[in-house]
Amino acid sequence: MSMSEAISRLRPLTEGLLPDTLGIEFLEASPDRVSAALTVRPALCTSGGVLHGGAIMAFADTMGAAGTVLNLPANARTTTIESKTNFLGAAAAGSRVIGECTPVHRGRTTMVWQTQVRSESGKLLALVTQTQLVLPG
Amino acid sequence: MSMSEAISRLRPLTEGLLPDTLGIEFLEASPDRVSAALTVRPALCTSGGVLHGGAIMAFADTMGAAGTVLNLPANARTTTIESKTNFLGAAAAGSRVIGECTPVHRGRTTMVWQTQVRSESGKLLALVTQTQLVLPG
Amino acid sequence: MSMSEAISRLRPLTEGLLPDTLGIEFLEASPDRVSAALTVRPALCTSGGVLHGGAIMAFADTMGAAGTVLNLPANARTTTIESKTNFLGAAAAGSRVIGECTPVHRGRTTMVWQTQVRSESGKLLALVTQTQLVLPG
Amino acid sequence: MSMSEAISRLRPLTEGLLPDTLGIEFLEASPDRVSAALTVRPALCTSGGVLHGGAIMAFADTMGAAGTVLNLPANARTTTIESKTNFLGAAAAGSRVIGECTPVHRGRTTMVWQTQVRSESGKLLALVTQTQLVLPG
């Protein structure tokens, strides 16, 4: 699967849905790694003009689901069953954050993915670990 | 503080920001309990036409921050330092979810809040526990 | 199933194993609720003479697994797949803590249990949420 | 600080306390990395003869606290405020597990540490992320 095929395969996860509403843009996608970017518009912020924690969690959840989809066997689907975030820094309105999501565990029943969300200068802003259940289609 | 005063005090957390973008509406707010509603528009969904996990986490994060704000001493502010969600059920597009957020711990340095997100018929869809750091203003 | 039958059914989870090593004692057990006690011996403490966070997490994990076992269909077994703890207070050596574990979700694939660990005077010391996977025996 | 000085400085966290009760042995310790080993005795197991999840969490919690202690300013102390574990594989009685704990964030108010627990052959068994509060002594 080429990267453009992988990104195409993720379109049903985003088109007209929350990831589009937030403005999440996949940068790279393969079964081993998903990266994405998000511009910190005021409409995604909390008070103080910094990216809302909820937007960060939605950003990571989208990437973890995407990574799982790229590893699913035929006729299977996935749902997030749990997600844990540590917030480590703030992203100011006008800046852009980059997420990198890699697999911790890829089993037949569950997959666990971890996402690092960083500022463009590389500062770690959040660490997200999530479990995806693999379900028959 | 009356409930309408409490809800007014939360406006700077929402106006023109992510909670408005998502459509989060506070129903009740006091230092002991915050409740809110969210209509499941397609623009908040993931594939399959169900509310995106990220929207659920943003919904709860907004309530936990709100509850903390209503308990802060003068000249203090708060930030979420960690959040954990268990996803238990799906909310279909067109439905509405209700969140209820109550304090687990209200200390001088940290507060811990727990949010139950339910369908309108009362089915538990997600359980979120988050820690807020209390910071000098 | 009577309570004494339930507690008997939990013996294979404890006898000669970590729960015995720590001194975990089941007080009540049914498919809807498990409670247990643990005496804070110095051998279970961390520096400062307070119960080690690891002992608290082991205490809760034992209860969540027990609750799941009491809800398993025939020929099924369970394993913890994730656990999250918020620590809220300390338990001094010589005291005794009480845990109460109740179900958040009991599905065919996963169960989620939540445990409150309290001092004997009722102060909440820790809140633990864990997911158990239900596996064919 | 040499490694032997670092390991000495950790003795008050273990001597006669839960880490000794479990048999946790520090292998390496510096402000940037703590590693430790634990032999899977039957007394640390759950049913099925595999290491109890609670022992895994206690093992990691001990390392995260140790890493924090090695980074504390003078006259400060630390306590774990939250811990999240994903369990990925089992460790059989008679085997030995190795933990490696590294910092995710070292701030003035909080530190976040992540521990990977592996079998001796290198298989990842658990991933633990914990937050330590830094307190005036």
pLDDT of C127 above 90: yes
Across the interface, whether the CB atoms of B59 and A54 are under 8 A apart is answered yes
- The mean pLDDT of D59-86, rounded to a whole number, is 97
pLDDT confidence of residue C10: 94
pLDDT confidence of residue D29: 97
pLDDT of A104 above 90: yes
Give tens-digit pLDDT for A11-25: 999 999 999 999 999
Across the interface, whether the CB atoms of B17 and A47 are under 8 A apart is answered yes
User: Which residue, chain included where needed, has tokens 């599905």?
Assistant: C107
pLDDT confidence of residue C128: 98
Which of D86, D124, D129 is opposite residue A127, by nearest beta carbon? D129
Whether B120 has its CB under 8 Å from any CB of chain D: the answer is no
Whether B131 has its CB under 8 Å from any CB of chain C: the answer is yes
User: Between C2 and A63, where is the model more confident?
Assistant: A63
Query: Nearest-CA residue of chain A relative to C130?
Result: A82
Q: Give chain B positions within 8 Å (CB) of C127.
A: 104, 112, 114, 129
Give tens-digit pLDDT for C110-126: 999 999 999 999 999 99
Q: Is the ipTM of this complex over 0.90?
A: yes
Where chain B has pLDDT below 70, the residues are: none
Give tens-digit pLDDT for C38-66: 999 999 999 999 999 999 999 999 999 99
Which of C21, C46, C80 is opposite residue D53, by nearest beta carbon? C80
Give tens-digit pLDDT for A37-83: 999 999 999 999 999 999 999 999 999 999 999 999 999 999 999 99
- Say how far apart CA B18 and CA B65 lie, in whole Å: 13
- Say how far apart CA A41 and CA D135 lie, in whole Å: 36
Q: Give chain A positions within 8 Å (CB) of C81.
A: 110, 131
Encode C3-61 in three state secondary structure. HHHHHHHCHHHCCCCHHHHHCCEEEEEECCEEEEEEECCHHHEECCCEECHHHHHHHHH
Q: Residue D58 corresponds to which tokens in the numbers above?
A: 């206690």
Whether A131 has its CB under 8 Å from any CB of chain C: the answer is yes
Which of C17, C57, C65 is opposite residue D83, by nearest beta carbon? C57
pLDDT of A121 above 90: yes
- Say how far apart CA B87 and CA B127 lie, in whole Å: 7
Q: Is A98 exposed, middle or buried (0-12, 13-18, 19+ CB in 10 A)?
A: middle
pLDDT confidence of residue D137: 79
Q: Please, which residues 67-106 of chain D have a Cβ atom closer than 8 Å to chain B?
A: 81-82, 84
Give tens-digit pLDDT for C65-79: 999 999 999 999 999
Q: How many CB pairs (< 8 A) connect B and C? A: 34
The helix (run of H) or strand (run of E) holding residue C126 is strand C124-136
Q: What angle do CA A125, C81, A88 make, to 5 degrees?
A: 10
pLDDT confidence of residue D1: 80
Q: Give chain B positions within 8 Å (CB) of C114.
A: 127
pLDDT confidence of residue C1: 80
Instruction: Give the rounded distance of the alpha carbon of C4 from its chain centre.
Output: 17
pLDDT more than 70, % of chain A: 100
Whether B109 has its CB under 8 Å from any CB of chain D: the answer is yes
pLDDT of A133 above 90: yes
